[in-house]
Structure 1
């Protein structure tokens, strides 16, 4: 039997028969052997590959980094991700080959194209962030108590406020909503968002006064996994990032500390940020709205609010009137909330005339929010269909209204209230014609509108 003899030509034929990438270099990085697959990956003619050094190819930008010097340095098997000048990503493994003295005299490397895998990984990472954003946005929407449809604007001042809000809705100008607590600044912000080109994107509301100042950065910008003790293991997307493409509404912005004001200013100016514990610069596109019940200009003078941030936020200021300033909306709002909560809790409720007297003469320091909360409470706690004075909380029954002036003439308070209500329905009938439209505009049910028109003999 003849003994088989291996030649250099046989070795090259065996290598070239392999469809996988394979490269053999000396300890100086000179390429001794390679497969045709290697030449094709780096797009270099095979004959020009042999005899070159990996250092030369790396300096020419053919690939980076070269694995041979890494293997020589670590003296062990190494796996890295290598980039080629053709935009490919290769998972390269280098294996040291030692001689009889234990010294490395060859390095064998092979690779796999993982470009698509890395692209998919990046895509999945973005999808994961997007799913987190959508999930958090849904949770935010669930917390909403009333929609922007709850806006009532029969009063001239409120109409002017909504007109200004509508005028600025289609441009990405910063808006600062000013007004007392409970006047409905959040609803105005949602109204602007819903009329804007961004209406199909998220509306993210951030209550700057409700987030502890020490946690504001983590909540607002988000954080990476393991950033601090107690952090979510997978990290968390921040509120600013959730607003991507939509509207970021900063409520009670005057409550921010000076330290957090600096961070907010930087975000507004650059529209980019780092998560807490992160090194990746993230960009975000949003429309900014802010609101406060404080006098920011006074805070600026007291060095409690940054002047540069104030000017950034106060591009278009919009004053939201208090309930006392928009008294013409009081009766429609009462009927709106009464009907809304009656439907919500499946309890039909009506207001006694004496109750209406108390509601109309009350000062409403808590504005629309106070009115809404009281009506909800009355609907839920009153056992009978008719809500009487006895059902009012003690503070509303015992308060003094002696400073309110009435033009009594020869009329009782009940007659005055009926005249006011009659006038409201008379104007509503002239303007809106149908009982359905009247009910919609006054925020009451259609049967209630029919009953009131009949009561006041309005055809």
Structure 2
């Protein structure tokens, strides 16, 4: 008996292909497979013949399956399939019709794209990392370029500047939130200077400083002779001056409900009429707004329009108060000392006791308060070294009770030890780690550890 297998041309061609080729009927039964097919799914190719693709999917050999999709659409379908070993296969299914245009077979072929997808994910991760590093480098590059004190040593402020850099690239409305003095207007300028509109004007409108009766004329401008006292040639408003640049609405929460309606219409339509005018004027601008108020609460209380709030609050950025980013206090002090020393041609530096005192303040006025105080002591100090008696009284009283300690007959050494213990205890509560405590106190970390051990501070 001759057991020699009869050579089949079609089978030979099929198996000569290195790709995964699989043929099923309309019931999903596998009729033919190439020899390369089984390797993709860690099974023998010949064992797949006669099996149902539906059963193989249930067994986890591969998922999803193409057969029902091709039968439904009756056209070429491509998708990514996952094998039982986690391989990613780009699978294409093709319908085969007979002479009566009846679907009789589905032929599918696939390519292993696991490495390709892994490489794509790696490249995506690398791009994200590069964007992060780029953002941090941009922050570092610009950190000392602003005399108003945009310094980000703390993680809290780094996050603010990173988000500011992201939104600067697109004309999205940004609402800057935070207490008075945290630097909202400086962040607004930062966003403008990093935006595609940086060559255009930056127009700041203090909504709380313009009287309600004059707001429309100041903001939108007026035509000649529109009211008593108007300039004969008329006057462009602040909105008009923002053409091609950024319009910064500071203290937006101070606007009356009447003026809120006008601002909302202006933002939506980007057109306006001057007071006394009949010709619409169009302006191209980007809106930034800021407030120290809780606008969500104001909306609930009906003192701020909900539609204007949602129009402005596309991307909110909350700037933390200085007491919540204590790592920035020392570099800010250093920055302002250098800046005002140069501005007033008075070289000044801080006594260690003064520095410690400033580091312990609550700074309810935030960066603005700190900047004003440093400017004041640079100006009034008659000596190179700024000492404790140059500080205003309230900065001596508010930081700690140690300035009023009753010695009770103690020696100077004992009094100083008590003062040192109180300072260390307060700094420990604020900075948590000995590394941050050392930076705040201007001493080494081992010194902090040694002093804490000495005073039994945990």
The reply to whether residue 383 of structure 1 matches residue 382 of structure 2 is yes
The reply to whether residue 323 of structure 1 matches residue 325 of structure 2 is no
The reply to whether residue 265 of structure 1 matches residue 261 of structure 2 is no
- The 5 Å alignment of 1:88-99 reads none
Looking at structure 2, the residues matched to 150 and 279 of structure 1 have their Cα atoms a distance apart, in angstroms, of 45
The reply to whether residue 421 of structure 1 matches residue 442 of structure 2 is yes
How many residues were matched structurally?
274
Q: Deviations over 1:345-372 (max 9, x none)?
A: 1000111111111100010000000000
Pair 281,148 (structure 1): closer, same or farther in 2 beyond 3 Å = farther
Deviation at 1:395, TM superposition (A): 1.3
RMSD, aligned CA: 2.2
Deviation at 1:235, TM superposition (A): 1.3
Question: Which position in structure 2 is the counterpart of 1:296?
Answer: 295
Q: Deviations over 1:6-26 (max 9, x none)?
A: xxxxxxxxxxxxxxxxxxxxx
- Asked if structure 2 preserves the Cα contact closer than 8 Å seen for 1:148 and 1:187, the reply is no
2:337 partner SS: helix
Pair 393,417 (structure 1): closer, same or farther in 2 beyond 3 Å = farther
- Asked if structure 2 preserves the Cα contact closer than 8 Å seen for 1:221 and 1:240, the reply is yes
Q: Normalized against structure 2, the TM-score is what?
A: 0.57
Question: Which position in structure 1 is the counterpart of 2:126?
Answer: none
Looking at structure 2, the residues matched to 199 and 341 of structure 1 have their Cα atoms a distance apart, in angstroms, of 27
Looking at structure 2, the residues matched to 201 and 253 of structure 1 have their Cα atoms a distance apart, in angstroms, of 22
Deviation at 1:377, TM superposition (A): 0.6
Pair 213,405 (structure 1): closer, same or farther in 2 beyond 3 Å = same
Pair 221,205 (structure 1): closer, same or farther in 2 beyond 3 Å = same
Question: Which position in structure 1 is the counterpart of 2:152?
Answer: 153
Deviation at 1:318, TM superposition (A): 0.5
Deviation at 1:233, TM superposition (A): 2.2
2:199 partner SS: coil
Question: Which position in structure 2 is the counterpart of 1:374?
Answer: 373
Looking at structure 1, the residues matched to 293 and 272 of structure 2 have their Cα atoms a distance apart, in angstroms, of 28
Question: Which position in structure 1 is the counterpart of 2:184?
Answer: 185
Looking at structure 2, the residues matched to 335 and 329 of structure 1 have their Cα atoms a distance apart, in angstroms, of 10
Question: Which position in structure 1 is the counterpart of 2:211?
Answer: 212
- The 5 Å alignment of 1:237-252 reads 237-252=236-251
Question: Which position in structure 2 is the counterpart of 1:163?
Answer: 162
Looking at structure 1, the residues matched to 381 and 439 of structure 2 have their Cα atoms a distance apart, in angstroms, of 23
Looking at structure 2, the residues matched to 286 and 401 of structure 1 have their Cα atoms a distance apart, in angstroms, of 49
Looking at structure 2, the residues matched to 196 and 157 of structure 1 have their Cα atoms a distance apart, in angstroms, of 22
Question: Which position in structure 2 is the counterpart of 1:344?
Answer: 343
Looking at structure 2, the residues matched to 179 and 148 of structure 1 have their Cα atoms a distance apart, in angstroms, of 20
2:323 partner SS: coil
- Asked if structure 1 preserves the Cα contact closer than 8 Å seen for 2:154 and 2:326, the reply is yes
Pair 417,231 (structure 1): closer, same or farther in 2 beyond 3 Å = farther
Q: Deviations over 1:226-245 (max 9, x none)?
A: 12122222211100111000
Looking at structure 1, the residues matched to 284 and 268 of structure 2 have their Cα atoms a distance apart, in angstroms, of 11
The reply to whether residue 283 of structure 1 matches residue 282 of structure 2 is yes
Pair 249,267 (structure 1): closer, same or farther in 2 beyond 3 Å = same
2:179 partner SS: coil
Deviation at 1:152, TM superposition (A): 0.3
Looking at structure 1, the residues matched to 288 and 209 of structure 2 have their Cα atoms a distance apart, in angstroms, of 17
Pair 260,162 (structure 1): closer, same or farther in 2 beyond 3 Å = same
2:176 partner SS: strand
Looking at structure 1, the residues matched to 188 and 440 of structure 2 have their Cα atoms a distance apart, in angstroms, of 35
1:317 partner SS: strand
Which ranges of structure 1 fall in alignment gaps of 5 or more residues?
A: 1-145, 409-415, 425-459
Looking at structure 1, the residues matched to 231 and 215 of structure 2 have their Cα atoms a distance apart, in angstroms, of 16
- Asked if structure 2 preserves the Cα contact closer than 8 Å seen for 1:201 and 1:247, the reply is yes
